[in-house]
Structure 1
Amino acid sequence: MVAGPVVSDLLAATRSAGAAAAGLKACTAWPDAPRPVLADDLLPERAMAGDPAAREQLVEEIYRPLEEAGSALLETLSVYLEQASSLEGAARMLFVHPNTVRYRLRRVTDVTGWSPSDVRSAFTLRIALILGRLADANILP
């Protein structure tokens, strides 16, 4: 079972139902998902399954706020994820102290609500970074 997001009125109910339907279609990609699962917890799978609303949500709710918070957060998150979530490896690549990386990653969590140190959240953040870069390059429809 997949639950769509709570909406404020009946007119927005179609958006919630659409998210739930897209989540149901994509939930096979995450076999260990909790049951019931929220459609928003399936954003990466929905985006990969072709759901344009999920793509837009990942870009607008994760990538754009990070972009607005400054390039240091985007760069730190990207390097951290590329370094297999190693604080020390990311710090070496960025030429900063590991505590700086810790601080920036906490800021990523504050800005997005997703923690880079959590495996599932890191996956969502990585997909949001990819989609945001594609959107910036005008490659996404």
Structure 2
Amino acid sequence: MRLYDLHKLISISSGPAPQAIFHNLRSLALNGCKLKYLFTIDVAQYLLLLEDLWLQNCYKLEGVIESREETVNNKMIIFPELKSLHLQDLPHMKWFCSPTKSATNPKDTECPSLQHLYMRDCPHLSLTASDFNTRNPVQINNEKQRSSMYKRLWDSGK
């Protein structure tokens, strides 16, 4: 799924998300939006097949996953198939998964299949590959892989 220049978009999903909505999502590319968070923790738990996540020019984005006190219940957030994560020009992004009032640190996130992490111009974000509990060696800011991912997500009919 590609979403771009949706400057009035305030939510991808609100309220409890039925599993069928996001269950088969394999790639998500988002460029130019005013979202504060991409997904709630309720939606994130159904992204089991997500392989590629590209976020760029989302100037109000603070995090990928919004944790809410009433729904967290010590849930581990797992993206079992996420291989490529691209984060660029996200000046307000502070965390991958937001902390809750009762937990000062963001909830644990696992991306055991992560292979590529690209981060540029995210001044408030301090993430490393080890934050994702991956079982693979992760290529960091690899321009060749970034170009390949761009072509796959933005230039194709995917």
TM-score calculated relative to the size of structure 2: 0.23
User: Which has the greater radius of gyration?
Assistant: 1
TM-score calculated relative to the size of structure 1: 0.25
**Structure 1 or 2: larger helix share?**
1
